[in-house]
Structure 1
Amino acid sequence: MFGYLARTVVAHPWRVIALWVIAAAAVLVFTPSLGKYTTGNQQSFLPQSFESVQAQAVGTEYFPAQSGATGSLVVSRADGAPLSPTDQATATGLATTLQNAAIEGVLAVQATPQSLSPDGRVVAIQVAFAGQPGDDQVDAAVPVLRDDATAALQDTGLVSGLTGNAAIQVDTTAAYDHADRIITVATVILILALLGAIFRSAVVAVIPVLVIGVVLGVVSGLTALLAYLLDFQVSTTLQSILVVVLFGIGTDYIVFLLFRYRELVRSGVEPREALVTAVAVVGRVVASSALTVIGAFAALLLAKLESLSTLAPGLIVAVAVMLVTALTLVPALFALLGPRLFWPGGPGRDSAHSPFAAVGAFTARRPAVSAAAVGVVLIVLGLFATGYRSTYNTLGELPSDTSSQQAFDTLGRSFPAGALSPTQVYVVGPGPLDPGALTALGADLAQVPGVASVAPPKPGQDPAVALISVVLQDDPYGNAALDLVEGPLRAAAHGSVPGAQVYVGGQTSTYVDVRSQLHADTRSVFPVAAVIIFVILALLLTAILAPLNLLACVALTFAATLGAVVLLFLHVRGYSGIDFSIPIVLYLFVVAIGTDYNILIAARIHEEFRRGHDPRSAVRIAISNDAATVAAAGVILACTFASLMLTGLANLSELGFGVAVGILIAAFAMAPLLVPGLAALEGRPFWWPTRVAESAPQSETVSAGAPGPDRPRP
């Protein structure tokens, strides 16, 4: 199949390019923008069965001003001094000024006697928006409110800052937009520099950037189209992840093809014939790698937490489109360019003393040493993974100079941290509620350790519904607050009013449910992804023990990678926790993308073994010829993901570092040392039930890539 495809593409490059141009133009012109289907509202990703979602439904119907997007407009002196009586009057008067301004999207701006902090340094004005965080109207109102407040306080010595879920959402979106630009620029520069250095060709450096840039637009359009047709929204992280995934694996696939193509040209094969052979041989490996990645990402569809499951369509589309691109558009461009592809340095010559030849010889001669050395290092790193601690503090993951973060810090110095986002307790009865029972419930909630204050019960327009607001002592996004709401607070609320349903809602309750569902999703996604990858590897390698070895190696790599993240961010940089989504996303990236390199090396060892080489000779030949490809691809992919660390966003920095470390482990330890070492140690059983060729093994020159009896020819 791949031989036929290769011959067709190389014979008709202009037709292939024309079809691509037409298809890409149609997608870019007629599909919607992905930004229209992006949200950072975690509650929108939860199933309807969760308590926080049910509480939100009650609040939206009966208490829209309290249950929608809210904010705290924090007013303080610019010099940090206590507010004078005049300052206090100015600050509270600001609420009236903004209320009278009738800002579109703002329901109410209110200051009460409780707005002044106990230390007299801060006035916290409560703002209610018309909608949920992330709604267009709410997002548009946030900057207007900020600008109007700043203008009203000019020349008063007072400053203001807006925080709360509405402002955090706006600042998060802005931070991710800024991050996307940084990632794109950094990735392009890295790829240009690395490919130019590796292949000594300006043309080779530019082609992947141009091709993948077009593919990124196509993938974004197709993902938005799927979101429109299937009626779902995606997380704010998707666009950033798509950039690094496409430039990462796209460059990988192109590098795999380039190395084999250049190898054949160097050996004297005519360029068009070399290209057909390269596409036919590498196409099988690239397709297997892509299917492995797609399979791992498809496991996300089982997640009930939609912030994870809605990542799957975009990532699957990205890998699928990149696979088609690598097998059609890229070879067509190579065919048109011919020898000019390697301008100005030319294809060069094989080095007489490749360092990977020495690595291959050592691993074949001392496989136990290679495998044991790598295994010990990975196990030591993996031990740090046992110290993993999660955080759900999305505000704390933003850069420290973010407006909503600064306002929260000012608020937290004078008010209980939980004042930023009170927990709402909704009581819904079959008939009018007993005021005495509501008062008793408030008293019970106030007795829960960790509760700072409880507001008097607020009846709704329907006498059968009431709201009690609870302010926690701790950061509402911290683990201590989550534990409090999940345990003692919900226990005190449930069943407290006879005959009524009591729902605990708010941002903290939402993250409690997110945490619960994430644990359940992890238990389902991990094993399913492993089974999918095992089946694909077994079909590719026609073996049973080999894929089991590869999966064990990948699992060890994941543990070591998570351990490295814990070591850097918790022990060295002193973070309070690592973003809650990192383990499952890191698992999928490291397992799926890192497996690319295992597949390339394992497939080459398998190929040489089938040709009649003994297991150790097959290992030596595979490392000598293909480890350089893996190393080059690994450096490019790791640097691409490392660009996420430039964004200033904690969760993207953690993800970028983790995936970069995982890829480097896969490229420089697992693929060239651990996997071949195990293959050499286990010998023929490693490849059972693969049959060995009856004839004597071919020369290593043929094995290295030149067309042999079993290789496709044009």
Structure 2
Amino acid sequence: MTKLDTTDAERNERGTVKRRRLPIFTVIALAIFAFVAGGFGGSFQGKLAEVQKNDNASYLPSSAESTIVSNQSANFLAVETIPGFVLFHRDSALTEADKSAINSAYGAIAGISGVDADGMQPTQYSADGTTASIFVPLVAKDGDASVAGDVLATTEQNVIDAAKQAAGDVEVLPAGPGGLLVAFIDAFAGLDGALLGAALLVVILILLVVYRSPVLWFFPLFSALLAIGLSSMVIYFLAKAELLTLTGQSQGILFVLVIGAGTDYALLLISRYREELHTYPNRFDAMIKAWRESAPAITASAVTVILGLLCLTFSQLNSNKSLGPVAAIGIACTYLVMMTFMPVALAATGRWVFWPRKPKVDHAADLTTHGMWGKIAEAVGSKDRPLWIGATVLLIILFAAGIGSLKTDGLTSTESFTNRPDAVVGQELYDSKFDPGAGAPAVITANADQADAVIKAASGVEGISQDPGAVCTQVDVAKVSELIKTNPAAVAQAAAAGCAPAAFTVAPIDGRTMINATLADSYDSPQALETVKRLRTAVHDVPGADALVGGSTATTLDVQAASVRDRNLIIPIVLVVIFLVLAALLRALLIPVILIVTVVLSFAATLGVSGFFFTHVFGFAGADQSFPLFAFVFLVALGIDYNIFLMTRVREETGEFGTRAGVLRGLAVTGGVITSAGIVLAATFAVLGILPLVFLAEIGFAVAFGVLLDTIIVRSVLVPALSHDIGKRIWWPSELARAKD
């Protein structure tokens, strides 16, 4: 009998297990807590939208130039607003009746709660007479109170409804930053319904195939729902207290991460439980043994993912900084539920949950002599060097084939959707009919005594509009609103002439003033971003002005710069953290290096494949600057999971059978469950593609493909073949490196 054929029964005859070392009552108490808290927390899933923040400004740190400008400019404005437009369009010229209806719409919109009526401007008409535009600023912050995303969405919808009701058969479309922001918010509407439902359906179908039982799938799925409820409750209260920033994308990733990781943990534990049921007559003894043997790998996996995610707290971007804790909370809650409630529920239920394939006490649990994975292990053992070299070459080819197509220089707002919401159609129409830079100017704060010099410098910047009144001191909305009531003709005349008279502009505050500079291009276009870079250089050079540039375009620019900085800083930190965890778990230094190198190689191959598919198959305009960082954190942190599951079992087997036999036994025993776990995780992340946002679709594709690549190629071939070829030296400098091979 070979080492690969030796059974667990032959290694260790046992019928009972010592229970005193396992904190059984603690596990049961935690299981009850997880059930109650998770069930109660389920009501908080729907409330998460109340504490979401989806605007770029909330992403940035207080040190960002655009954030400083936003704080300073708030002193000059009664309320902070998000600029937006409502467009009225016909293919032919608008009639006098249409214009009368548009005037009625103007009045109706001004009366809507949440609209800054004082900030609205007179209706503009395009040169060809086919389109009218009403500037509609949405109140984003009134005093110290910020307006929640769902309230902004409701206000925008009320604006569009009022406009449509008044306009008759004229086409009505939203546009501008306000309309596009609400489109983003709407994209996440029903997130906890559609996304969660699709993810659960996919996982149920996979678990039915894996377990071939109409009952067993319920336990991991119900446990995952408890974990979502528990984490939703914790995150809601933290976000409400503004201890972290929750975005729509963070919430979407949270749900799929909990379902995917939770199912992974469940598959590993249930697989070991079924294995032990072949040995133990008492199902509780079997679960205790399974729990004890699975706990180190699952704990190490959870700790690795949590620490990897928490590395995001080093980010400058508040969205990234809080995504780490949000996702880490999800993993921690998932670990708690899967290691307490689920094993207690399974053990209490009995063997019948595996029906119709109920395991019997036959000491036939050694899967290394059965099935496809036993044959794969034998192949790896006999052709280790050609296999790991071939797998490495394949990964390098995948990287080289598509990395040149991966563009991570950002997306405009209109390019960020996989569909065409009305706000995108409206923005494209606005850009074609009106000055595309209107409504979202660059905002400059400067010392008031140098305001004229700053205006002159800004006016000469390439990409700044040369129309009259393009670069002016901020108008005092209250003064102009009062004048509109008494002499609207004077206001229209002043607007046509250029900048408002000094009597109608804001007074300096603490020696500072606020200046608006209209861009020649759409506020989030690459051309506008380059203009803001030039504008900053020009006004920074004005002596004694201490000028700073903010506004929507500058905010996007600062977000992009912070994303690049975060990527370059956090990726090395994640690698160091994972190395330390692996070294402590495996009590070796060489094998952690091997595992990290293989996962990074898998990540690089995924980037290459993603670049090819994004550009040549899906037709995306590009990718966000933060895409490589998000893909790396999830792929490396989650991908290393499967290597942890594999190598902890290999180390267990090595202690008795030697390294090379231990590698083959570990691969054969864990192959089926880890591959199933990888398919589940890939499927749950792929579900992100149902949301109409390019960023999440790209993350979903990259993680899904990367996990499958890691599961099928890296963990099944590359790692075991390379480990088998190297032999006992992989455990250097531990004692296993000097033991039998």
Both proteins in one fold, TM over 0.5 = yes
Match of 1:607 in 2: 652
> Quick one: structure 1 residues 161 and 5, their matched pair in 2 at CA, closer, same or farther if it must change by over 3 Å?
farther
Match of 2:68 in 1: 54
Counterpart among 95, 119, 140 of residue 131 in structure 1: 140
Deviation at 1:434, TM superposition (A): 5.8
- Structure 1: distance between partners of 2:242 and 2:694: 31
Secondary structure, in 3 states, of the residue corresponding to 2:357?
Answer: coil
Secondary structure, in 3 states, of the residue corresponding to 2:356?
Answer: coil
Counterpart among 578, 601, 612 of residue 533 in structure 1: 578
- Structure 1: distance between partners of 2:184 and 2:233: 22
> Quick one: structure 1 residues 277 and 501, their matched pair in 2 at CA, closer, same or farther if it must change by over 3 Å?
same
- Structure 1: distance between partners of 2:45 and 2:417: 31
> Quick one: structure 1 residues 28 and 657, their matched pair in 2 at CA, closer, same or farther if it must change by over 3 Å?
closer
- Structure 1: distance between partners of 2:219 and 2:670: 22
Say if 1:220 and 1:314, in contact at 8 Å, map to a contact too. Answer: no
* Structure 1 residue 151 corresponds to structure 2 residue 196: no
- Single out whichever of 588-597 and 340-349 deviates more from structure 2: 340-349
Say if 1:76 and 1:158, in contact at 8 Å, map to a contact too. Answer: yes
Say if 2:458 and 2:517, in contact at 8 Å, map to a contact too. Answer: no
- Structure 2: distance between partners of 1:282 and 1:356: 20
Counterpart among 78, 83, 87 of residue 74 in structure 1: 87
Deviation at 1:69, TM superposition (A): 1.2
Match of 2:666 in 1: 622
> Quick one: structure 1 residues 243 and 571, their matched pair in 2 at CA, closer, same or farther if it must change by over 3 Å?
same
Match of 1:642 in 2: 686
Secondary structure, in 3 states, of the residue corresponding to 1:251?
Answer: helix
- Structure 2: distance between partners of 1:650 and 1:262: 41
Deviation at 1:554, TM superposition (A): 1.1
Deviation at 1:325, TM superposition (A): 1.8
* Structure 1 residue 521 corresponds to structure 2 residue 566: yes
- Structure 1: distance between partners of 2:413 and 2:199: 25
Say if 1:438 and 1:457, in contact at 8 Å, map to a contact too. Answer: no
> Quick one: structure 1 residues 24 and 651, their matched pair in 2 at CA, closer, same or farther if it must change by over 3 Å?
same
Match of 1:379 in 2: 396
Say if 2:454 and 2:547, in contact at 8 Å, map to a contact too. Answer: no
- Single out whichever of 378-387 and 542-551 deviates more from structure 2: 378-387
Match of 2:456 in 1: 440
> Quick one: structure 1 residues 538 and 161, their matched pair in 2 at CA, closer, same or farther if it must change by over 3 Å?
same
- Structure 2: distance between partners of 1:683 and 1:329: 39
* Structure 1 residue 407 corresponds to structure 2 residue 426: yes
Deviation at 1:452, TM superposition (A): 7.1
Deviation at 1:4, TM superposition (A): 6.0
Match of 1:684 in 2: 728
- Structure 1: distance between partners of 2:424 and 2:74: 27
Deviation at 1:458, TM superposition (A): 3.0
The code of the aligned residue for 1:263 comes to E
Say if 2:377 and 2:664, in contact at 8 Å, map to a contact too. Answer: yes
> Quick one: structure 1 residues 356 and 392, their matched pair in 2 at CA, closer, same or farther if it must change by over 3 Å?
same
Match of 1:249 in 2: 261
* Structure 1 residue 121 corresponds to structure 2 residue 121: no
* Structure 1 residue 107 corresponds to structure 2 residue 122: no
Deviation at 1:558, TM superposition (A): 1.2
Provide the alpha-carbon RMSD of the alignment: 2.9
- Structure 1: distance between partners of 2:63 and 2:264: 42
Say if 1:38 and 1:233, in contact at 8 Å, map to a contact too. Answer: yes
Counterpart among 444, 466, 471 of residue 519 in structure 2: 471
- Single out whichever of 329-338 and 409-418 deviates more from structure 2: 409-418
- Structure 1: distance between partners of 2:45 and 2:374: 49
- Single out whichever of 259-268 and 307-316 deviates more from structure 2: 259-268
* Structure 1 residue 490 corresponds to structure 2 residue 536: yes
Deviation at 1:44, TM superposition (A): 1.5
Say if 1:95 and 1:110, in contact at 8 Å, map to a contact too. Answer: no
- Structure 2: distance between partners of 1:622 and 1:31: 39
**Matched pairs, number:** 679
TM-score for the superposition, normalised by structure 1:
0.88
- Structure 1: distance between partners of 2:18 and 2:470: 73
Deviation at 1:270, TM superposition (A): 4.2
- Structure 1: distance between partners of 2:148 and 2:339: 41
Match of 1:457 in 2: 472
- Structure 1: distance between partners of 2:644 and 2:109: 62
Deviation at 1:125, TM superposition (A): 1.3
> Quick one: structure 1 residues 54 and 574, their matched pair in 2 at CA, closer, same or farther if it must change by over 3 Å?
same
Counterpart among 24, 31, 35 of residue 21 in structure 1: 35
Percent same amino acid among aligned pairs? 25
> Quick one: structure 1 residues 451 and 568, their matched pair in 2 at CA, closer, same or farther if it must change by over 3 Å?
farther
Secondary structure, in 3 states, of the residue corresponding to 1:75?
Answer: strand
Deviations 1:690-712 (A, max 9, x none): 32499989xxxxxxxxxxxxxxx
- Structure 1: distance between partners of 2:43 and 2:172: 43
Counterpart among 519, 525, 528 of residue 481 in structure 1: 528
- Structure 2: distance between partners of 1:628 and 1:31: 33
- Structure 1: distance between partners of 2:354 and 2:637: 31
| Structure 1 portions without partners, runs of 5+ | 698-714
The code of the aligned residue for 1:240 comes to G
The code of the aligned residue for 1:490 comes to R
Secondary structure, in 3 states, of the residue corresponding to 2:442?
Answer: strand
Deviation at 1:170, TM superposition (A): 2.5
Pairs within 5 Å for 1:167-566: 167-229=179-241, 231-266=243-278, 270-347=282-359, 353-383=370-400, 384-390=402-408, 391-419=410-438, 422-431=440-449, 435=452, 437=453, 440-445=456-461, 448-449=462-463, 453=467, 455-459=470-474, 460-463=505-508, 465-473=513-521, 475-486=522-533, 488-496=534-542, 498-566=543-611
Deviation at 1:354, TM superposition (A): 1.4
Say if 2:112 and 2:158, in contact at 8 Å, map to a contact too. Answer: no
Say if 1:393 and 1:478, in contact at 8 Å, map to a contact too. Answer: yes
- Structure 2: distance between partners of 1:338 and 1:211: 17
- Single out whichever of 584-593 and 348-357 deviates more from structure 2: 348-357
Deviations 1:579-615 (A, max 9, x none): 33221111111011111111111122222222242x3
Say if 1:374 and 1:674, in contact at 8 Å, map to a contact too. Answer: yes
The code of the aligned residue for 2:348 comes to L
- Structure 2: distance between partners of 1:541 and 1:275: 24
Say if 1:32 and 1:221, in contact at 8 Å, map to a contact too. Answer: no
Deviations 1:530-585 (A, max 9, x none): 11100110011111010001110111111111222211112222221113322111
TM-score for the superposition, normalised by structure 2:
0.85
> Quick one: structure 1 residues 358 and 478, their matched pair in 2 at CA, closer, same or farther if it must change by over 3 Å?
farther
Secondary structure, in 3 states, of the residue corresponding to 1:509?
Answer: helix
Say if 2:216 and 2:353, in contact at 8 Å, map to a contact too. Answer: yes
Deviations 1:409-462 (A, max 9, x none): 22123235434x53323242254x565x365235313xx047575614135321
Deviations 1:302-347 (A, max 9, x none): 1121100111222111111211222211110111012122123323
Secondary structure, in 3 states, of the residue corresponding to 1:130?
Answer: strand
Deviation at 1:250, TM superposition (A): 0.3
Deviation at 1:112, TM superposition (A): 4.1
- Structure 1: distance between partners of 2:241 and 2:517: 39
Match of 1:95 in 2: 106
Deviation at 1:39, TM superposition (A): 0.5
> Quick one: structure 1 residues 694 and 665, their matched pair in 2 at CA, closer, same or farther if it must change by over 3 Å?
closer
The code of the aligned residue for 2:381 comes to A
